[in-house]
């Protein structure tokens, strides 16, 4: 009987030793499942946001500047051109409307056959409960289409795990200055 008791005690000590060693390595685990409710990921909702994007290339304080000009041999589409932007997002179509955020990123002419640009931007919101939250957009924008659709590929703050799409509609375009106002409707699934 004492040998059986010794065997059980040694077995229990070995199991405790193994489990304590496994517990120490948890900080180095590459992946582990997380409880959605403990991270406020209880229920996903769909939100619609409408705002106006103002791309100002003219004047003494442009919000969009060319950082890579197109090659001199380029065709009419400006293929190769890249602009960096920090554009106002407003509640109404006038630039004097209340600012609700900024569109920060870049766009470039990505087609040799039509005016189509690659948009890479974050919508950085400064209004209400969304202050400090962002939406990330990356997609193709065929400028002369009436409605263009681009994907929302993520976000931060209240838009963590965001996904969805935006629709862009040009409200005004000055062909001389190339200043533009575009209505954006964002449809976003987020927590």
24 in a structural domain: no
- pLDDT tens-digit profile of 15-55? 665 565 555 555 677 777 767 666 666 788 999 999 999 99
108 in a structural domain: yes
The domain in which residue 125 lies consists of 45-190
23 in a structural domain: no
- pLDDT tens-digit profile of 82-129? 999 999 999 999 999 999 999 999 999 999 999 899 999 999 999 999
The count of domains in the chain is 1
Give the integer Cα–Cα distance in Å for 8 and 10: 5
Please give the model's pTM, rounded to 2 decimal places.
0.80
CATH number at residue 158: 2.40.480.10
Q: Which residue has the tokens 């920060």?
A: 104
- pLDDT tens-digit profile of 176-186? 999 999 999 99
pLDDT computed for residue 1 by the predictor = 57
178 in a structural domain: yes
Q: Does the pLDDT of residue 134 top 70, yes or no?
A: yes
pLDDT computed for residue 63 by the predictor = 98
End-to-end, the C-alpha distance of the chain in Å comes to 60
What is the maximum span of the chain, computed from C-alpha positions, in angstroms? 99
173 in a structural domain: yes
8 in a structural domain: no
Q: Please say whether the beta carbons of 190 and 155 come within 8 A.
A: yes
Rounded to 5°, the CA angle 124-125-130 comes to: 130
Q: Which residue has the tokens 């409200």?
A: 171
172 in a structural domain: yes
182 in a structural domain: yes
pLDDT computed for residue 29 by the predictor = 74
Give the integer Cα–Cα distance in Å for 119 and 135: 13
């Amino acid at each position: 009987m004492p040998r059986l008791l010794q065997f059980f005690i040694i077995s229990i000590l070995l199991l405790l030793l193994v489990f304590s060693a496994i517990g120490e390595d948890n900080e180095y685990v590459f992946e582990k499942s997380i409880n959605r409710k403990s991270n406020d990921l209880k229920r996903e909702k769909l939100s619609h946001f409408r705002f106006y994007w103002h791309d100002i290339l003219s004047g003494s304080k442009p919000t969009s500047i060319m950082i890579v000009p197109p090659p001199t041999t380029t065709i009419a589409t400006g293929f190769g051109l890249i602009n960096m932007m920090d554009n106002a997002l407003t509640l109404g179509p006038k630039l004097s409307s209340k600012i609700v955020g900024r569109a920060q990123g870049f766009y470039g002419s990505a087609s040799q056959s039509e005016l189509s640009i690659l948009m890479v931007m974050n919508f950085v919101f400064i209004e209400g409960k969304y202050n400090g939250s962002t939406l990330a957009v990356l997609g193709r924008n065929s400028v002369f289409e009436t409605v263009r659709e681009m994907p929302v590929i993520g976000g931060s703050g209240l838009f963590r795990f965001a996904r969805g799409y935006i629709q862009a509609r040009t409200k005004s375009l000055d062909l001389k200055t190339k200043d533009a106002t575009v209505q954006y409707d964002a449809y976003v699934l987020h927590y």
